[in-house]
Amino acid sequence: MAVIDFIKKVYIHVPIRLINLAAPIYYLIPDSIRYGSTFKKQKKFLKTKEFLSESEQANITNQNFVELINYCYQNVPYYHELFDNNGLKVDTFKTVSDIKRIPFLTKEILRERMDDLIADGTDRNKLLLITSSGTTGTPIGVYVDHDSTMIEWAYTLHIWRRVGYKLNSSRVVLRGKHFREEIIKGKCWQYDALRRELSCNIHDMCEDNLEQYCVAIEKYKPEFIHGYPSAIYTLCLYIKKRGLEHQFKAVLAVSETIITEQRKIIEEVLKTRIFAFYGHSERLIMAGECEYSNKYHVEPQYGIAEIVDENGEIITNNTVGELVATGFSNRSMPLLRYKTGDLANWSEQQHCECNRHYKLIEQVLGRKKEVLINKVGIPVLLTSMHYEFFEEHVKQFKFYQEEIGKVKLIATVDMNYSDEDEKSILKTLEGDTRGSIDFEVVIVNELSAKSSGKREMVIQKLDTRQMGIR
């Protein structure tokens, strides 16, 4: 057992003050012992395979794919049945290009056939169930094993290393419920010396709490800021007025689509770059920006990424479609051609100056339902809009649509907001959508978020048929 596994078992039962006292001892333990052999092996693999040629990367991916297909047929009841029912012969799968013959795995199938997707012989007591809300709001669960957890952490560190992040780096965390219940009741932040994390409560980012976060940042001096772009943006609006002496090395953005104006303001205020990262609960695709580019570099040995259109046809150009994922790391519950519900498009750029021979995603645009539908029924992507009003008296906002061609912008504003600001907002939105949507501005005292703390950019009440989405 890796030391980290033991720490996880006892962590929640130990008072935070004792954890902070014991933390220096923990960091005397070598990384290979702390995180175990799987982590060590994966870390070494990534270091040696990162800059292989395109053909060398393809050879490894093809080997992984063929091995995975054989494993799924022999060990996973759902796939044994699926292959037999569709006349798919395992020995005919030779390269990744053969993947298109496998039927898609949808969220509905995952929910209905979960037990049959768990590999035979798996000790279910040792699996971790990870749930996400899904595009419909109905929870979806995926079982993951210990090895996949360590592999994911090795990949995450490998990608963050591009902006200087190290295994023992410190960070301020602005995402989800990332600290202990007793701390939540007592104050709005917690410093955990074991994790080297300053965790802040993003569910109540009032000015008093934001001031406490800034004071804590000045005290603990975390090297990186990590979290949801919407929460980091809210903190930056406060820092813009207040000032902050501490300098972060980079912003590690996760879990939400970054809109252009958010990126612009965060980078201006913190005087460092946002480094975006794409992953998801199912652990099938992992991609991150690099030292030179804002395009997502898909990690070829973590999993296979496809982008498909509404008819399920594979897209090879830069047209927007749905991400479909196949993962290599979680053998306890492997998922083949899983429809993620996330929209994305390939980059027209074939190679990056970083010299990694990875496929490049131009943008990850969020969930299928995170679009606005104009008067003629065409989806309008949020990333195509500019949001200049972000800089003038609007603190937070989201869109609400329940009728084609009509959208409410629901916003919280500061005390200087005026009728002129509303006119400016409507003019901006009309220009962004070329008059194809009628907007209404609704001012509220606060905006709700999901239980995780994520800010939904769109509350979309149109059903998928009205949106032209299958």
CATH number of the domain enclosing 396: 3.30.300.30
Q: Which of 97, 42, 99 is nearest to 69 (CA)?
A: 99
Does the structure show a pLDDT above 50 at 134? no
Query: Comparing C-alpha atoms, which of 376, 380, 382, 383 is closest to residue 362?
Result: 383
* Residue 402 domain flag: yes
Separation between Cα atoms, residue 433 and residue 427, nearest integer Å? 10
Residue span of the structural domain in which 380 resides: 371-467
9 within some domain: no
Confidence label for 135 from pLDDT (cuts 50, 70 and 90)? very low
The reply to whether 95 falls in a domain is no
Instruction: State the total domains in the chain.
Output: 1
pLDDT for position 462: 84
What is the pLDDT, as a whole number, of residue 460? 83
Flag whether 33 is in a domain.
Answer: no
Nearest one of 468, 467, 395, 380 to 432, comparing CA atoms: 380
Average pLDDT over residues 74-99: 97
Q: Is residue 245 a contact partner of residue 218, using CB atoms and an 8 Å limit?
A: yes
Given a cut of 90, whether residue 430 has pLDDT beyond it is no
Distance CA 29, CA 6 (A): 13
% of the chain at pLDDT higher than 90: 55
Q: Which of 65-69, 388-392, 456-460 has the lowest mean pLDDT?
A: 388-392
Classify residue 445: in a domain, yes or no: yes
Q: Over 70: is that where the pLDDT of 181 sits?
A: no
At 257-292, the pLDDT tens digits run 787 778 888 999 999 999 998 988 889 999 999 999
State residue 348's pLDDT score: 92
pLDDT per position as a tens digit, 186-228: 578 999 998 999 999 887 788 889 999 999 999 999 999 999 8
The answer to the question of residue 308 being in a domain is no
Instruction: Provide the β-strand partners of residue 253.
Output: 227, 276
* Interatomic CA distance for residues 48 and 60, integer angstroms: 13
| pLDDT tens profile 353-367 | 999 999 999 988 777
Question: Across the chain, what does the average pLDDT equal?
Answer: 86
Q: Which residues pair with 412 in a beta bridge?
A: 396
Q: Is residue 446 part of a domain?
A: yes
Q: Per the domain annotation, does 355 fall within a domain?
A: no
Do strands 360-367 and 296-298 pair parallel, antiparallel, or not at all (unpaired)? antiparallel
